[in-house]
Chain A
Amino acid sequence: MDTLKKTKEQLLREWIAEHQNLVYRTAYFYVKDASIAEDIAQEVFLRAYKHMDEFRGDAKVSTWLYRITSNACKDYLRSWSHRKLVVTHLFSPEKTSESAEQEVLRSLEEDELLRHVIRLPLKYREVIVLYYFEQLKSREIAELLDTKESTIRVRISRGLEKLKKALTGGDEQWETSTNF
C-alpha cells in the first residue's frame, strides 16, 4: 500500500489538510457551535491518528472520518459540557460580542432553509446534512451510522417533510416553556 511508505505523521498532515473542512462542517451541524466544532475536529484527527493502523486502505478516508466525527459529536452531545451549554442558553439567552467566524455562521443561519435544517431534530438533521450537503449515498450513510439503508431513506423523507412544514407553517418543536 502506497500509504505505508509515508510516516503516520505525514499521513495525518495530509488528512488534516484535505479533510479538515469536512470534519469541521459535519461537526458544526451536530453541535451548532463553531468553537466546539473546532475542538471536535481536533479530537477526530487525534482519534484517527491513534487508530491509523486499523484503517482499512481500501475504504475512503472521508467515510471513516465522517464516522469518527459523528461518534465524537454524539459523545459530546451526551456529555455534561453540552448540557451545561443548553442550560446556560436557557438562563442567559443574550448574545456576547461576535467574532468574525461567528458572523459567518450567523449569516448561514439567516438563510431560511438552512436555519430550518439546523433546527431539525438530530436524527433527521444528520441524514439530511450527509445526503444533501456531503452528497453521500443512503447506503454509505447507513454504513457509517450502523443503520439499515431503509431506515436512512425513511429519515431523509421524514426530514424533508419536517422541513416543508417548517417552511410553510412553522414546526417549532423546541420552544422553551416554563410551566413551573
Chain B
Amino acid sequence: MGNLDQLLKEKREQVHATLRLSDEAAERLQRNIMEKLVESEQRPFRPWRKVIPTAVIAAAACLLFFYAIPAEAPVDHADSNHKIHKQIDPELETRMETGTPPTKGTPPSKAVPSPPWETDEDKMSLNRVFAFGMSYDDVKKLFPAMGELRPEGNLDSLGETGLQESFMEVELDGQTATLELNFQENWLYAYRYHISGLKEKEAMDKVENIRQVYEKALGAYREEQHENGKSYRWPQQMILSFTALGDGTYYVSWGNEYADIQDHFYRQQGFAISEALEKAADLVPGFPVKLGGTVKREEKTSPQSNDTATVEYTTKVQVIGKNTYHITLVKDWHREINGSPAVATWELEISPSEAKIMSNPSQYTDYLIP
C-alpha cells in the first residue's frame, strides 16, 4: 500500500499536465462565462416569478418564495452576514433547505394535491398520465404545481440545445419523491421519479419493491450493471435504476424514457413505439412516424381561397400496457375559429395484433374552412 501511496503522489504532475484546458478551450470558457453574465444582467425577470393564476398555486408560491429567497434574491448584505457562518456552496445550501434539486431561477414546486392522482397506485402509474410528445403546457394543465422549466442537468449549454427539465414533489408511499420531466424542444421525452439521500439498505429495498410492481405489470426486464449502480429495463420504455453517490447515499429513479437508440432493442424484445407508429401512419397519414418534435407544413385554409396557415402535426404516445400504445395525433392550425383553437385530434390504440381509431375529429381535418 505504501508503494501505491507513493505512486499516486508521483502521478500528480502527469494528471495536472494532461487534464488542462487548451488555450482555445480556456478562451472559450472565459468568453462563454462573460457572455452569460451579460445575458443574465439583461434579463430583468426570472421565469419563476411569473404570476400563476390559481389560488392553490398562489399558496404554494408563498411557500416557494420563502424557500427561494436565499438563492435567488439580490444579496442583502445585512442578511448575508449571518449566513456566512460556514463557507459552503450556496447552491447546496438552498438544496438542503428545500430538499430538492438545485435551482436556477426555477425552484421545483412543492407537493400539492393534483386531480389526476389520488392513490399511490395512481402515482406509480406514470404512463396513465403522461404521454411522450406532450408539451410543457399540456403538463401544466394537468399539474399546475409543476415547476418552471430550466436547462437540463442545470447546464446552460444543454438548455441551449433545447433540452429542458421541470420538477414537482410528490408524496409517494410515505416519502417525498421528485417527479422529473424532460423535454426536447418542448416535446416530452422522459418522465420519472427520483428519491435521493437514501441509505444503502433503504435504497435496495425500495428498488426491490418497485421492481416487483413493474415486473408484475410489464413482465420480463433486462438487468444492466453500470458504474456505481444498476438498472432494470423493460421493453415498454420503462427503466428503474439506482446509483451510489459519492457521499455514501443512494439515488433511486424510475420512469419512462424514449430514446431512438434503444428502438432496436425494443423491437427485438417486444413491440416498439416505432412499430406502433408505422401502423398508425397506415390509418392516419401525414404525422411524424418517428418520435421527437413536430412537423410543420404550410397548407391552404380553404379549397376556395389562397390563404395559408402553418399547420403543426404532433404525435403523442402513451404506453398503456404491455405492447399496447395509445397514440394521439394532433393537427394544430394555430388559428382560432369562434374563439376556440382550430385543432383536429385523432385517438388511436395500437397493439401488435390490432390498430384501431378510437376517435376521429369532426372538423379541421383537411381545411380550416370547408
Partners in one complex: yes
Give the interface of A toward B (CB within 8 A).
9, 12-13, 16-17, 20-21, 24-25, 28, 30, 36, 38-43, 45-47, 49-51, 53-56, 59, 63-64, 67-68, 70-72, 74-84, 86-88, 90-92, 100-101, 104-105, 107-108, 111, 113-114, 117, 119, 121-123, 125-126, 128, 132-133, 135, 145-147, 151, 160-161, 163-164, 167, 173-180
| Closest B residue by C-beta to A129 | B15
Q: Which residues of B contact A54 (CB under 8 A)?
A: 75, 80, 83-84, 90
Is the CB–CB distance between A80 and B25 below 8 Å?
no
Partner of B37, one of A49, A70, A88: A49
Is the CB–CB distance between B241 and A24 below 8 Å?
no
| Closest B residue by C-beta to A27 | B19
Is the CB–CB distance between B20 and A125 below 8 Å?
no
24 A-B pairs within 8 Å (CB atoms) are namely A9-B34, A13-B30, A16-B33, A21-B21, A24-B21, A43-B154, A43-B155, A45-B29, A53-B77, A54-B83, A55-B87, A67-B89, A78-B101, A78-B245, A80-B190, A91-B265, A101-B25, A108-B14, A122-B244, A132-B11, A132-B12, A135-B12, A145-B247, A177-B224
Report which residue of A105, A135, A146 has the largest number of chain B beta carbons within 10 angstroms of its beta carbon.
A146
Contacting residues of chain B (9-56) with chain A, CB-CB under 8 angstroms: 9, 11-12, 14-16, 18-22, 25-26, 28-30, 32-34, 36-37
We find that the number of chain B residues with CB closer than 8 angstroms to chain A is: 80
Smallest CB-CB A-B distances: 8 pairs: A79-B153, A122-B246, A81-B153, A51-B90, A132-B8, A25-B19, A180-B222, A53-B75
Is the CB–CB distance between A68 and B89 below 8 Å?
yes
Partner of A177, one of B22, B225, B269: B225
| Closest B residue by C-beta to A100 | B22
Give the interface of B toward A (CB within 8 A).
1, 4-5, 7-9, 11-12, 14-16, 18-22, 25-26, 28-30, 32-34, 36-37, 75, 77, 80, 83-84, 87-92, 95, 101-102, 152-158, 163, 165, 180, 182, 190, 192, 194, 196, 220-228, 239, 241, 243-248, 251, 253, 257, 259, 261-262, 265, 269
Is the CB–CB distance between A75 and B102 below 8 Å?
yes
Is the CB–CB distance between B227 and A174 below 8 Å?
yes
In whole angstroms, how far apart are the Cα atoms of A45 and B327 in the complex?
A: 44
Q: Give, as a whole number of angstroms, the nearest-CB distance from A103 to chain B.
A: 11
Q: Is the interface of A mostly helix, strand, loop or mixed?
A: helix
Q: Known contacts A46-B33, A51-B90, A71-B91; is A126 also within 8 Å of B16 by CB?
A: no
Partner of A179, one of B34, B89, B222: B222
In whole angstroms, how far apart are the Cα atoms of A91 and B264 in the complex?
A: 9
In whole angstroms, how far apart are the Cα atoms of A147 and B155 in the complex?
A: 26
Is the CB–CB distance between B245 and A77 below 8 Å?
yes
Q: Known contacts A12-B33, A20-B26; is A90 also within 8 Å of B226 by CB?
A: yes
Q: Which residues of A contact B16 (CB under 8 A)?
A: 21, 25, 133
